[in-house]
């Protein structure tokens, strides 16, 4: 569930564009105004705003944002948010891929395989594949074809069933058995993949916890999770965050960030009037 607050009466796209244009005019950019508009529009609305802005003023809104806003934390989150979700994923993937080294073997099929989306589950298959996974993990053959094939092609429901069987049969969460070497980058990617397949909200709540708890807050992850999940499952992420940290997410963010950056993050996780 989304935390985005869209007002019940949305101004026309032309009005939004005009106000945005004003926010860029004069001395200094009015980031507060930009946030108060874009922070309360959903993906199709933002897409339309970008389109009409380009038609009306002959410039891509993203380029105007890049040019007029200081290269600040708030500029980055506004920019990520203004991108179309698929564009945004591509942008972030492009940034991230430069950092990854040895993990292409799993990343390539993860983004290119066809995965069945239904709820049907084959319990016999789940048992067989749970055994196969356990065998390969015991042999430390983490990157073997079978492991990759199961994680990249089976439906989420089927993988969930397989991992349940794994736990029934071998007494442990599979991720416990994938911690042999805590520094191994490929194992870390396997664990993250499994978490995202089984319960993405819990995974993102943990990324938030780790990014906020760090001395000085790790803004990269904080920005990324808020900008990509606000319109998807941020409501559940917020609940899980509070349950695990005994502090509401908005309070934790308000404590560790400030200015327009804080304002934009809080807007996206559901603060302030729509």
Q: Which stretch binds a copy of itself (CB under 8 A): 91-99, 106-114, 119-127, 221-229?
A: 119-127
Q: Which stretch binds a copy of itself (CB under 8 A): 51-59, 158-166, 226-234, 255-263?
A: 158-166
What Rg, from alpha-carbon coordinates, does the chain have? 21
Task: Supply the minimum distance, in Å, between the C-beta of residue 48 and a copy of itself.
Answer: 37
Q: Which is nearer to a copy of itself, 107 or 121 (CB)?
A: 121
Q: Which is nearer to a copy of itself, 21 or 115 (CB)?
A: 115
Could you say which residues in the range 161-200 bind a copy of itself, by CB under 8 A?
Answer: 161, 164
**Applying CB under 8 A, does 126 fall inside the site for a copy of itself?**
yes
**Applying CB under 8 A, does 244 fall inside the site for a copy of itself?**
yes
Task: Supply the minimum distance, in Å, between the C-beta of residue 59 and a copy of itself.
Answer: 48
CA max distance for the chain:
67
25, 93, 123, 141: which one binds a copy of itself (CB under 8 A)? 123
Task: Supply the minimum distance, in Å, between the C-beta of residue 133 and a copy of itself.
Answer: 16
Nearest to 42 by CA among 99, 82, 15: 82
Task: Supply the minimum distance, in Å, between the C-beta of residue 175 and a copy of itself.
Answer: 14
**Site for a copy of itself, rule CB under 8 A:** 121, 123, 126, 157, 160-161, 164, 243-247
């Amino acid at each position: 569930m989304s935390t985005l607050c869209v007002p019940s009466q949305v101004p026309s796209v032309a009005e939004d564009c005009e106000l945005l244009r004003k926010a860029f005019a004069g001395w200094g950019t009015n980031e507060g105004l930009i946030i108060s508009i874009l922070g309360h529009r959903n993906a199709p609305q933002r897409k339309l705003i970008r389109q009409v802005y380009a038609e009306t003023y002959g410039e891509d809104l993203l380029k105007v944002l890049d040019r007029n806003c200081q290269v600040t934390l708030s500029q980055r989150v506004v920019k990520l948010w203004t991108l179309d979700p698929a564009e945004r994923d591509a942008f972030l993937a492009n940034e991230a891929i430069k950092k990854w080294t040895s993990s292409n073997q799993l990343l390539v099929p993860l983004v290119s395989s066809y995965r069945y989306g239904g709820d049907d589950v084959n319990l016999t298959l789940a048992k067989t594949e749970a055994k196969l996974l356990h065998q390969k993990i015991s042999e430390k053959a983490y990157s073997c074809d079978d492991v990759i094939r199961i994680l990249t092609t089976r439906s989420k429901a089927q993988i969930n069933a397989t991992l349940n069987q794994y736990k029934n049969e071998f007494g442990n969460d599979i991720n416990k058995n994938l911690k042999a070497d805590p520094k191994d980058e490929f194992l870390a990617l396997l664990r993250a993949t499994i978490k995202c397949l089984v319960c993405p909200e819990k995974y993102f709540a943990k990324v938030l916890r780790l990014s906020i708890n760090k001395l000085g807050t790790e803004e990269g992850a904080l920005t990324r999770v808020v900008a990509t999940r606000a319109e998807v499952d941020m409501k559940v992420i917020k609940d899980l965050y509070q349950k695990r940290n005994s502090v509401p997410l908005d309070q934790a963010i308000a404590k560790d960030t400030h200015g327009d950056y804080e304002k934009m993050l809080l807007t996206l996780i559901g603060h302030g009037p729509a």
